[in-house]
A and B are shown apart, each in its own frame.
Chain A
Amino acid sequence: MDKEIKDLLKQQFNQNLTTNIETIEKVLDKSSDLVKRDFVIHGTSNLRAVCYFTDGLVDKLQVEHVLESLQYEFHKYLATSDGYVDFENSADSLNENLLYNSSVSTTKDLQKGIDAVLIGDALVIVDGLSEAIIIAARGYAMRSIAEPTNEQVVRGPRDGFVENLRTNTATLRRRIRDPLFRIDSVQIGKKTKTDVGIAYIKGLASDDLVEEVKARLSNIEIDGILESGYIEELISDGPWTPFPTIQSTERPDKAASSILEGRVVLLIDNTPFTLLMPVSFWQFLQASDDYYYNFYIGSFFRLIRYIAFVVSLTFPSIFVMLASFHQEMIPTPLALTIASGREVNPFPVLLEALLMEISFELMREAGLRMPKPIGSAVSIVGSLIIGQAAVQAGLISPFMVIVVALTGIASFAIPNYSSSFAIRLMRFPILIASGTLGLLGFTFTIGLLLIHLISLRSFGKPYFEPFAPYEPNEFKDMFIRSPWWSMKKQPSHVTQNTNRVGSNQMPSPPKKGEEDES
C-alpha cells in the first residue's frame, strides 16, 4: 500500500482530469478536511476543472475570489489556436492575465501539488492542462504576537516569536533591512515536512559556518520535527553534554542581535523557539536588557548573574563540604551558629542537602505541571511544610533551608532556561562528590566540569571563549557590558573583526566655536 502511494507520488500530472482526480484521491483518500470543489468554466464547451484545498488551512475568501475569476473570466484568456484551446500555453496565460493572487505557480509534479494542498495552498487542475496551478491562499488561525513569558525584560521590545514561520521571518526582517540578510529555507521531517528558515547576513556570517549549518541540517533524517529541540539535539556538537551548545530564544531582538554578530539563526515552523549558533557559554548569562540599559546597570546586573551562576552551581556543595569535612575553614562564630542549628538534626549534612535539593526540584516541577490556578497551592504547602515545619521538627537545619533557597533563587536568575537547567543538574554530582570526598571531591568535579566545558565546541567555535582560549579583546562584553561607543568591533568569536560602531562615537558637548557652524 505504502509503496503504491510512493509510486503514485512520483507521477506527473496527466492531461486527463479524471485520471488526475483518481490519483489524488488514491493518495489522500477521503480525509475529512480535504475539500474538493468541481466547477465548469463558463463560456467554454463544458471545460471542467477542480480545486483542492485543505479546510482550515486556507483563507476561504481568497479561494472564493480565485474560483470566481476562474469560472467567469477564464475563457477570455484561454489561448486558442485554430479554434481549439491551446492547452500548452494556457497555464502561462492564466498566470499572467487572470489570477489576482500575489503568489501563483504551476507544477507538473504530483508530489508538489499534493504538498501544496497539505501546506494550505489551493491546487487547481483544469481538464486538458498538463500542469496544475498552485495558488497561495494560506490563512489559518494562529496565536497572535505576544510577549515571550520565559525571557522577560523590563526594557526592550515586547514582541516574541510565534508558531508561524512566516510571521517570524517578518519580525526579523522588520529589524534587519540589509539587502544581504538572507533567509534560506529547507524542509525537514519525512512526515511533518517542517519548514526551517536559515537566517544570516551574507558576508557577515562566515560562509563556512552557513555551509556547515546547511550540511548538518541536510543530514537529518527523522520522521518529524515538532519543536526546535529536535533539531538542536540532531545538529549540536556535543551530543552527550548537558550544556546547550545552541542557544534557543523566543525573543526576536536577541535573534536579530545574533544575526548582526554574524551568527546563524534557525527559524522552525510551529514553534516560537528559534536556534542561535554558534554560542559561547557566557552568552547564557547575558540578558537582552543588558544592552538596553545604561552600561553601569547592565554591567552590574551581569555581574550579579555571574554570582548567581557560581552560587547555583556550588553553594550547597561548599556548605556540605565545610560542614562535614573542613570545619576549620568556617569563621568561628558562623561555625557555632551552624553547629547549633544542626544540634538535633538526625541526618548527615549530605543527605540533608540532597533531600532538600530534590524536594526543591520537586516543588518547582510540580508548580510547573500543575494547572495554573492550583499552582500557587504548591508553593504555599512547600514553603510552609519544608520551610517551617521541617525546621521546627528538627528534621532540617535552618541553615540548609537558607542554602537551598538561595541556590534555587540564584538558579532562577540565569536568563536562559536550558543552561540554568544544565547548571542545576551539574549541582548534584558536585554535591555528592563534596559530601563524600570533601574539598578533594569538590575540586575534582569542578576540574572535570571545566575540562569538559573547555573541550566543548559550538559549530567549531570554542565554547568557553573568550575565557579559554583567552581573548582579552572580547572581555569588553563578557563580565561587564562596555558602553556601545567603545565596542567598535564585532566579537571575533564568530566573525572576522568588522567594525560595528564608528570611531569617535563617544558623545561629548560641542566645542565652543563649532556650535555656530550649524
Chain B
Amino acid sequence: MKITKFIVILIAVSLLTSCAGKREINDLAIVLAVGIDKGEKQKFKVTVEVVRASDARGQTGSPAGNAGDPMWIASAEGDSIFEAIRNISTYSSRRVFWAHNYVIVVNEELAEKEGIKDIIDFFTRNPELRMRTWIVATPDKAGEVVSTQTGLEVIPGEALSKLFRYNPISAVSPRTQIRDVHTAYLSESSDPIMARVKLQERVVPNKADGGGGGGEKPPGGEEKGKGEPSIKQIEMSGTTVFKKDKMVGTLSKKETRGLLPFIENVGTAIIPLTCPGKEKEKITVEVKKNKVEVLPFIKDNAPFYKINLSLTTNVVEANCDFDIDDRKMIDEIERNLEKKYKGYIKSALEKGQKEYKADIFELGKTFENKYPEKWKSFRENWDEKYAAAKFDINVKAEVQSGVLLYTPTQPGSRGK
C-alpha cells in the first residue's frame, strides 16, 4: 500500500509538472554574438546574430537545410538593452537564448557618449549570460561587425571567438572578457579596457567575384567597383581605453604590446629588428617567454614603479648572416630588442597615464597589495597620485636560440 502511494506520487510529480520550463533545443534562437550600437530613435540598438543550426552544420537527413545563410540577424531598438532584446522577440519565432553567446561588440561612439555602465550591468546581472563572454569595442557599426561573414568560419561569432582564443600568437589586443571589464569597473583604482576590432577590406587576389572561402557569396564581400575584389574581415587593432565607464581613447597595436605584460600572460610576439650594422636588412625574433615584475615604491610621497621585464626569444628569421655563436651580434640584437620593448612600454604608459589618465595597468592594485596601509591615504586622490607616478623601466632580453639553424643561410656555407 505504501509502495503504491509512493509510485502514484512519483508519477503524479512527473506528469503534473507538464514539463515546466522545458524548451527543446531546436526551439531556441541561439545567439552567438551580440552588437550594441547607439539607436537612431532610442538609446540602444541591439543586433543579435542567431545561428541557424541546420545550415551552419549542413546536417544530412535534415531537409530544412540548404536555405542559405548559416545565421539570422535581428536588430531592434530600445531605451534599455533589455527592452531592445524584448523588441527583437516581437518578431523572432524562437526564444532568444543567450547562454551560448560568444562575444559582445560595443560601438565606440556609444561607449564614448553613453558609457558602458548599462552594458556591464545587463550582461553581468542576467543569469543566462556568461561572465566569460568576450567583450570588444569597434569604431564600426557593431551590428555590421556581428553580421560579417569572414569566409573561414561558418558563423561570424565563432570567428570572433576563435580570434581571441588564438590571439596570443599575434599579441596586438588584450583578451578582454565581460568579467575583466566588470572587475576593473568596480575596482576603485583600475579602469577598464576592451579589445578593439575593426572591419578591414582585404583584397582577395585570386577571386573575380569577391567571394570568401566558400562557394556562396558572404554578405560582407562586396566589390568596390575599382577592379580589385575584396572582402571585409574583422581584425584586431589594439585596445580601447575607458575612464570609469566612458571611452577616452585607443591604444595602437604597438602600444598594446607595451600594455599586455601588465595585465596578462603574453604568449608569443613577433618583433622585426634591423640587423646590426646593416640598416636595410631585417632580423626577426619571436618572444617565447616573458616575465614581468612591477615593483611599487614610495618616492616623494608619490608612487614609483620599477618595472622589470625579461624576455626569452628565438631568432626565427634572419635576412642577414646570423650565427648563434656570434656573441657580439647577439648582444646587439638583445640591446635593440630591449630598446624596442622599452619604447612600447613607455608609449603605452605615456598614453595611459598622461593622455587618458586611466589606470589600465592595474598599478593601483599592485600598490595596494604592497602598501595596504599607505593605500588608505592614497585611495582618495589616486587619480592625482597616479598622474604623478614615476617609472623606471628595465628590459632584459635574451636570444636563446636560432631554432633549427646555427649557421648563417648563405651560399657555400655547407662543408665549412
Contact = CB atoms under 8 A, between A and B. Distances in A.
Contacts of A66: none
A343 B64 contact: yes
Contact of A336 (B22, B53, B64): B53
A340 B62 contact: yes
Contacts of B377: none
Interface in A363-415: 391-392, 394, 398
B15 interface: yes
Contact of A342 (B10, B24, B60, B100): B24
B62 A339 contact: no
Interface string A102-139: 00000000000000000000000000000000000000
Contacts of A327: 23, 25, 28, 30, 97, 99-100
A341 B59 contact: yes
Interface in A336-354: 336-345, 348-350
A397 to B, nearest CB: 8
B361 interface: no
A335 B59 CA distance: 13
B32 interface: yes
Contacts of B62: 340-341, 343-344, 394
Nearest to A326: B99
19 contacts: A327-B99, A328-B100, A332-B102, A335-B30, A336-B56, A338-B25, A339-B54, A340-B53, A340-B57, A342-B25, A343-B53, A343-B65, A344-B64, A348-B19, A391-B61, A398-B60, A433-B14, A436-B14, A436-B19
A324 B21 CA distance: 9
B183 to A, nearest CB: 22
A350 B97 contact: no
A398 B60 CA distance: 9
B3 interface: yes
Nearest to B55: A340
A441 B61 contact: no
B51 interface: yes
Given A240-B3, A335-B100, A336-B30, A343 B14 contact: no
B19 A339 contact: no
Interface in B152-203: 158
A318 to B, nearest CB: 13
Contacts of B60: 398
Contacts of A484: none
A328 B128 contact: yes
B17 A436 contact: yes
Given A327-B99, A343-B53, A392-B61, 10 more contacts: A324-B25, A327-B97, A333-B158, A336-B30, A343-B26, A343-B54, A344-B54, A350-B19, A391-B61, A435-B22
A438 B26 CA distance: 16
B215 interface: no
Contact of B24 (A323, A330, A438): A323
Chain A binding surface SS class: helix
B68 interface: no
A342 B20 CA distance: 21
Nearest to B26: A342
A332 B60 CA distance: 20
Contacts of B102: 332
B320 to A, nearest CB: 46
A335 to B, nearest CB: 6
A438 B23 CA distance: 10
Interface string B195-218: 000000000000000000000000
A83 B22 CA distance: 102
Contacts of A345: 26
A325 interface: yes
A328 B99 contact: yes
Nearest to A323: B25
B104 to A, nearest CB: 15
Contacts of B158: 332-333
B123 to A, nearest CB: 15
Interface in B275-303: none
B412 interface: no
B61 A437 contact: no
A324 B154 CA distance: 25
A433 B14 CA distance: 6
A341 B62 CA distance: 7
Contacts of A432: 14
Interface string B121-154: 0000000100000000000000000000000000
A374 to B, nearest CB: 30
Interface string B24-36: 1110101010000
Contacts of A429: 10
A277 to B, nearest CB: 24
B227 interface: no
Nearest to A349: B24
A394 B62 CA distance: 6
B63 interface: yes
Contacts of A338: 25
A337 B57 contact: yes
A340 B158 CA distance: 16
Nearest to B57: A340
Nearest to A240: B3
A342 B51 CA distance: 14
Contacts of A349: 24-25
Nearest to A335: B100
A232 B28 CA distance: 51
Nearest to B130: A328
Contacts of A350: 19
B130 to A, nearest CB: 8
Contacts of B58: 340
A438 B21 CA distance: 9
Interface in B37-69: 51, 53-65
A348 B22 CA distance: 10
A348 B59 contact: no
A345 B59 CA distance: 12
Top-10 shortest CB links A-B: A328-B99, A340-B57, A339-B53, A340-B53, A343-B54, A342-B26, A340-B59, A436-B14, A340-B54, A332-B100
A441 B14 contact: yes
Given A336-B57, A340-B54, A344-B62, A325 B21 contact: yes
Nearest to B6: A448
Contact of A335 (B20, B25, B55, B64): B25
B30 A339 contact: yes
Given A324-B22, A394-B63, A336 B17 contact: no
A324 B65 CA distance: 22
Contacts of A340: 53-59, 62, 65
Given A325-B21, A327-B99, A344-B62, A339 B14 contact: no
Counting chain A CB atoms within 10 Å of each CB, the highest count among B30, B59, B99 belongs to: B59
B22 A325 contact: yes
B128 A438 contact: no
